[in-house]
Amino acid sequence: MNTPAARPAARKARRPAATADAARASLTPETWVEAATTVLVDQGIDHVRVDVLAGQLGVTRGSFYWHFRDREDLLRRVLQAWSERSTAQLTKRLETARDDPREQLRDVISLPFRGRAAVRAARIELAIRAWARRDAMARQAVDESDASRIGYHGDIFRALGFAPDEAAMRAFLLYSYEVAESLLQGQGTPAQRQARRAYVERLMLQPLLP
Amino acid sequence: MNTPAARPAARKARRPAATADAARASLTPETWVEAATTVLVDQGIDHVRVDVLAGQLGVTRGSFYWHFRDREDLLRRVLQAWSERSTAQLTKRLETARDDPREQLRDVISLPFRGRAAVRAARIELAIRAWARRDAMARQAVDESDASRIGYHGDIFRALGFAPDEAAMRAFLLYSYEVAESLLQGQGTPAQRQARRAYVERLMLQPLLP
């Protein structure tokens, strides 16, 4: 955060009458990133524009440049925020929540089933993947997140005793399953999906016979 | 196809001098569907507009209505063409190409690796999935294609001797893997991806131990 934004109180005190200024002072960069993410999900990347967001947030276009160099800068922070929340923080939380790798495995497999938060997360992720089809910066962010998550899955399989190359291949397969449970929402009843989750867990734990 | 479009020769004979008319006569509905699909892939669904396509094809806007009732009608046929090519025809070809279900399994697993045709097919599919995030008609087409392909995978597993419920769960997992190999292009070198394919094949064939 840059210095002026970090001192909204001092700014307000100097210019108490300016409504736009007060609105600007109360907006953090996170508010812009959040609004941009919502427009991305609901309307697609082409609609994420500074004037549209400023209108929605009820502030001037100029107040955007208080926090961001340009639209590209905002988009970069949208990707960073997504990656941080959906990959870095999530992985850290999963890693530290359990010691037993079998329980860690169960946790990652159950991620697509975690109610409304999972649905919202899946919608954001699909919007970012759609954007990444035609944008190198988004593509890189998605590739890095995928690689990081697959890496964490590989850690679990290694902790379970699989050799590194086998662990990496199982990691990809299990991650594929999780992505598909999010992507193919229409396939199977809730009961079928739960049965499938348990079956996949058993299959992924079973060593390959010679 | 409606009657006038089925008789371009008669039309041409009556009005030989009209260039736009000749162009219109030479355009089949498939040409429009193809052009719309390309714009969808390269620019997204919002850019698939009758005026844009007419400009690209060098014909009048009016000539569009020779073949289609409205934009919605064109979009419906884009989905039908995709579904027909990527699901119905493909499944039929795979089913009839081999008798041995193990070879059928190997064929479906190798689909994401079939060179440029697979890359083009994957790009179209991702564009349609992106569109389906916010459009009920596209959503339905995608859900039906997914269900049909998973059904075919299930047929193979049943032919291999798995009980119906197990076959269905394996079908979903294997289909997840194929979708992910298309979607996560950045994950792994070509050699790693080939090794992974072979490993997944073995894992999917191995019965679950009690």
For A25-56, the pLDDT digits (tens) are 568 999 999 999 999 999 989 999 999 999 99
For tokens 């739960």, name the residue.
A194
* Confidence at residue B112, expressed as pLDDT on a 0 to 100 scale: 87
Judge whether residue A5 has pLDDT over 50.
no
Q: How far apart, in whole angstroms, are the C-alpha atoms of residue B27 and residue B59?
A: 9
Q: Do A172 and B188 touch (CB under 8 A)?
A: yes
Q: What is the pLDDT of residue A150?
A: 97
d(Cα A89, Cα A210) in Å, to the nearest integer? 38
The pTM of this model reads 0.86
pLDDT for B13: 40
Range of lowest pLDDT (A76-80, A130-134, B135-139, B161-165): A130-134
Task: Summarize pLDDT for A135-184 with one digit per residue, the tens.
Answer: 999 999 999 999 999 999 999 999 999 999 999 999 999 999 999 998 99
Cα-based torsion angle of the residue sequence B111, B127, A119, B200 in order, rounded to the nearest 10 degrees: 10
- Other Cβ atoms within 10 Å of A73 Cβ, number: 14
Name every residue in B having a CB less than 8 A away from some CB of A.
42-44, 46, 123, 126-127, 129-130, 133-134, 139, 142-143, 146-147, 150, 165-166, 168-170, 172-173, 175-177, 179-181, 183-184, 186-188, 192, 195-196, 199-200, 202-203, 206, 208-209
Mean pLDDT of A185-199: 92
**How far does B143 lie from chain A, in Å, by closest CA?**
6
Q: Do B44 and A46 touch (CB under 8 A)?
A: yes
- Can you give the pLDDT at residue A10? 40
Q: How confident is the model at residue A65 (pLDDT cuts 50, 70, 90)?
A: very high
Residues of chain B with pLDDT under 70: 1-26
Which pLDDT score is estimated for B36? 97
How far apart CA A4 and CA A26 sit, in angstroms, is: 12
Structure tokens at B50: 């009758």
Q: What does the alpha-carbon distance between residue B48 and residue B35 come to, in Å, rounded to a whole number?
A: 9
| CB contact at 8 A, B82 and B141 | yes
